[in-house]
Amino acid sequence: MNYLTTVLEKKWLTHDVFQLSIRKPDSFNYTLGQAVEVSLHKDKDILKAPFTITSSDKKDSDLQFIIKVYAEHHGITSHLAQLKINDAVSISEAWSSYKYCGPGIFIAAGSGITPFIPTLRLLKEQNKIDGHKLIFANKKAEDIILYEELNEIIGSQFYNVLSRDQLSGHSKGYVNIAYLNKIISDTQQHFYLCGPENFLKSVSNDLKALNVSENFIQIVN
């Protein structure tokens, strides 16, 4: 089933990432961190793609999404970035893209952070953030989504890795086996991964090489 709804607000978070708020349809239900397929009608085409809902199912009356614009693709993200208040969008039923199973390390690249944002917010709200770490890979500091909020949530356990910037308080380089070996003190915990396919394959293989059981590695779909 699809739901037709409208745009309430659009707010830019970085130079190419924005938060989209839409009206929550009356009969639409979801739980924390679930995703939906967002679709737009453009001329004779239907553009669609999955996005994680980053709002709280308990506190927020609207639905929020954090969306990275890939302008070079000329696809749905570029069209979503052009939406105005009261423009129409369609969403599908919600589904779970991953399952939070307990304390561990969140490892994300770029917009791969979005599925983890609702969980991190809730853990902070419930005073259960201890025992978690966040490794976040980006090209430059200006690419870091919600840096201030994430730093507030997880503090000293927030590890930023930048491939093109060298700045104080951030690591320069890549999330590779040498870097992971420095951060991971316990292989018997959960590892939540989200990002580009090559990133996921590389990090997953590195974790296994560090003797992390495949049962502890969860890749967000």
pLDDT tens, position by position, 128-143: 999 999 999 999 999 9
Please report the pLDDT score of residue 170 as a whole number. 77
User: Which pLDDT band, with edges at 50, 70 and 90, does 43 fall under?
Assistant: low
Instruction: Decide which of 2.40.30.10, 3.40.50.2300, 3.40.50.11890, 3.40.309.10 is the CATH code for 3-91.
Output: 2.40.30.10
Do 69 and 77 touch, CB atoms closer than 8 A?
Answer: yes
Q: Where are the domains of the chain?
A: 3-91, 104-219
Write the burial class of residue 140 (CB in 10 Å: 0-12 exposed, 13-18 middle, 19+ buried).
middle
Q: Is the pLDDT of residue 221 over 80?
A: no
Q: What is the CATH class of 104-219?
A: alpha beta
- Between CA 208 and CA 202 the distance in angstroms is 10
| pLDDT > 70? residue 73 | no
